[in-house]
Amino acid sequence: MCLGVPMQIQSIEGFQAHCEAKGIERDVSLFMIQDVEVRPGDYVLVHVGYAIQKLEPEEAAATWQVLDELFESTELEEAEGRGPTDGSGGERLR
Amino acid sequence: MSDAKAREWIDAIHQLDLPARVRVMNVCGGHERTLSMAGIRSVLPKNVEIIPGPGCPVCVCPEEDLYLAIQIALHRDATVMTFGDMLRVPTNVPRREVRTLEQARAAGAGVVPIASPSEVWEAAMQNPGERFVFFAAGFETTMAPVAARIAEGLPENVDLLISGRRTWPAVATLLEGDRAAFDGLIAPGHVAAVMGPEEWLFVSERHRIPTAVSGFRPDQLLSALHSVLRQLVEGRPVLENCYAHAVPAGGNGQARRLLDTVFEIVDAPWRGIGTLPASGYALRPNYAARDARVLHADLADESRKRMGEMPAGCGCADVVLGRIYPTECALYGTTCVPRSPVGPCMVSDEGACRIWWAGGIRSPEDLRTLHA
């Protein structure tokens, strides 16, 4: 859970940002980074629905590269029938 | 391992004049996942061991807390909402009884897996006539958002079962006694981003053990590892921040203030390990009316606090403390596999057993090929 997912801010309303990553859209709270100036187009690291820090675009891209590899191997493992049989824990952003 | 930067760090590590055996601990499931999935152990000098340590909050969530959550779901008119990882973690009750939140759900109880605390708030707002219990286990990175959500306002129909833990007190416990269990520490990047890197100064200053804060990419972990190993060779242990662009001095002040507003620091039990001083987050007294521990105290089984161990034969507690590798547990890969896990380390995405299995380190032989 402490890995965090980089997302790009689409729009901001108060402490709520509408964010996007890999075609998936989520509302993300900016409550914890209210001291930090962010605007649409910026990247943030999202942890359980909260932005915990602002990210440089290169850092966001590099982190996604790692996440892609991790998710790929997890999916492969589950496809092999060795992963959990129930998808209840699978609400992670994919 | 095609990445050029990673390759440079690997070369630099191989050029160091290292002792015959070096043990570096990491204390974050996210770090362990990158290390295992990227195959970093296989490209290191064979005398360098990387030990997965206490990096899985779900793994150390007390059995009695999980038991209480299951009892609330079964016997109260309330829906228990919790992070997905918790659903399949077994309690120690007899097999004929309901042992997991997932089984409680199958039996018709209200149990809903979530990925964000906001989902609890949304459910509560949409169903004002129903009651919800948010069961939250996690380290600082999770508890800060939980604190933020609570501080923003707690709906009337949401109660809280908090099993939050702090990372550094577990490492402090490992460093008690005559001999440290490791020679270097890779400190968790996102915990440090929230709490500040200074929390880890005690490792290098008081215990003279090289420490580096790391990010989560392979090249970042390799740079942190290089820092720790170089410090060891030079005999000058410091705390180096190898994730500086994300980890400012003092961490995230807002997050720390929120944590302090909502929670107090308490001595807290870690499953299979015992009570560690100042290692837990508990709701401040002004939230007592919403504390599920208080509200449902009649469902708690006091005797579980003594029984609150790992399942019989399960080596999870020793895995969490880095005393054994997952492959050294007698149950690993035999009766305990991801499809039918015995202990929490095989359930959680942050559990070392689950990660090693996914990463293909599945037998003592697999491990032997990595180390001299």
Tell me whether B118 touches chain A (CB under 8 Å).
Answer: yes
pTM for the whole structure: 0.91
Q: Which two tokens stand for residue B215?
A: 């990010």
A6 phi, psi to nearest 5 deg: -75, 135
Please report the pLDDT score of residue A90 as a whole number: 34
What tens digit of pLDDT does each residue of A10-68 get? 999 999 999 999 899 999 999 999 888 999 999 999 999 999 989 889 888 888 887 78
Cβ atoms B224, B31 nearer than 8 A: no
Pick from A65-69, B91-95, B156-160, B358-362: least confident:
A65-69
Nearest by Cα to B347 from B120, B102, B87:
B87
Separation in Å, CA A85 to CA A79, A88, B326, B336: 10, 9, 22, 14
CB-CB neighbours of B41 under 10 Å: 18
Q: Is the pLDDT of residue B169 over 80?
A: yes
Please report the pLDDT score of residue B1 as a whole number: 45
A92 confidence band (pLDDT: 50, 70, 90): very low
Give chain A positions within 8 Å (CB) of B188.
2
Which uninterrupted H or E stretch holds B119?
A: helix B117-126
Q: Which residue of B has its CA nearest to A92?
A: B115
Inter-chain CB pairs, A–B, below 8 Å: 144
Shortest Cα distance, chain B CAs vs residue A65, angstroms? 9
The Cα–Cα gap between B329 and B314 comes to 7
Q: Tell me the one-letter amino acid at B7.
A: R
Name the residue with higher pLDDT: B141 or A90: B141
Please report the pLDDT score of residue B229 as a whole number: 98
Shortest Cα distance, chain B CAs vs residue A9, angstroms? 18
Tell me whether B188 touches chain A (CB under 8 Å).
Answer: yes
Average pLDDT over residues B346-362: 94
A88 confidence band (pLDDT: 50, 70, 90): very low
Shortest Cα distance, chain B CAs vs residue A14, angstroms? 13
| CA torsion through residues A71, A75, A76, A77, sign | positive
Q: Is the pLDDT of residue A85 over 80?
A: no
The Cα–Cα gap between B252 and B82 comes to 25
Q: Which residue of B has its CA nearest to A72?
A: B37
Name the residue with higher pLDDT: A66 or B281: B281
| Backbone dihedral region for residue B263 (phi beyond 0: left; psi -120 to 50: alpha; all else: beta) | beta
Please report the pLDDT score of residue B172 as a whole number: 95
Cβ atoms B272, B316 nearer than 8 A: yes
Q: Which residue of A has its CA nearest to B36?
A: A70
Name the burial class of residue A16, with classes exposed (0-12), middle (13-18) and buried (19+) by CB atoms within 10 angstroms of its CB.
middle
B372 confidence band (pLDDT: 50, 70, 90): low
Q: Is the pLDDT of residue A80 over 60?
A: no
Distance of CA B211 to the CA centre of its chain: 19
Please report the pLDDT score of residue A76 as a whole number: 53
The Cα–Cα gap between B295 and B303 comes to 19
Contact residues, B window 204-243, toward A, CB-based 8 Å cutoff: 216-218
The Cα–Cα gap between B301 and B65 comes to 10
Shortest Cα distance, chain B CAs vs residue A49, angstroms? 5
Q: Which among A4, A66, A74 has the least Cβ separation from residue B217?
A: A66
Please report the pLDDT score of residue B125 as a whole number: 97
| % of chain B beyond a pLDDT of 70 | 98
What tens digit of pLDDT does each residue of B304-335 get? 766 668 998 999 999 999 999 999 999 999 99
Please report the pLDDT score of residue A15 as a whole number: 92
The Cα–Cα gap between B248 and B266 comes to 26
Shortest Cα distance, chain A CAs vs residue B17, angstroms? 30
The Cα–Cα gap between B229 and B13 comes to 8
The Cα–Cα gap between B144 and A32 comes to 8
Best of B5, B254, B257, B336 to disrupt the A interface (most A CBs within 10 Å) is B254
Mean pLDDT of the residues in chain B: 94
Give chain A positions within 8 Å (CB) of B252.
32-33, 52-53
Hey, are the CB atoms on B217 and A62 less than 8 Å from each other?
Answer: yes
Helix ranges (H only) for chain A are: 57-79
Q: Using the 8-state DSSP alphabet, how is residue B28 labeled?
A: -
Give chain B positions within 8 Å (CB) of A74.
358
What tens digit of pLDDT does each residue of B94-116 get? 889 999 999 999 999 999 999 99
Q: How far apart are the first and last CA of chain A?
A: 14
What tens digit of pLDDT does each residue of B228-253 get? 999 999 999 999 999 988 899 999 99
What tens digit of pLDDT does each residue of B198-237 get? 999 999 999 999 999 999 989 999 999 999 999 999 999 9
